[in-house]
């Protein structure tokens, strides 16, 4: 997938996924405390999801 968003809620400290979507708004992401990489390592840093998608697409094109 080039794009996926997971919406979570917490029930007594238990995270639950309530929605999975191919599209997402960027306003909330700009305020996110970090992101997960492809190896499921947490990075406490800001990020630009559009840049990640473009890098992934360009890497795929260059590797063909």
What distance in Å separates the CA atoms of residue 23 and residue 8, rounded to the nearest whole number? 15
Closest CA to 54 of 11, 2, 16, 15: 2
pLDDT digits (tens, 9 = 90+) for 27-60: 878 888 998 888 999 999 988 888 888 888 899 8
Domain ranges of the chain: 5-62
pLDDT of residue 2 exceeding 80: no
Distances (CA, A) of 61 to 2, 3, 16, 52: 14, 17, 36, 14
Question: What's residue 47's pLDDT?
Answer: 84
Tokens 């630009």 belong to residue: 48
DSSP designation for 33:
S
């Amino acid at each position: 997938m080039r794009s996926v968003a997971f919406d979570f809620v917490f029930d007594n400290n238990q995270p639950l996924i309530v929605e999975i979507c191919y599209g997402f708004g960027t306003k909330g992401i700009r305020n996110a405390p970090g992101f997960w990489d492809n190896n499921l390592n947490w990075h406490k840093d800001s990020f630009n999801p559009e840049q990640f998608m473009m890098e992934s697409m360009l890497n795929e094109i260059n590797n063909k």
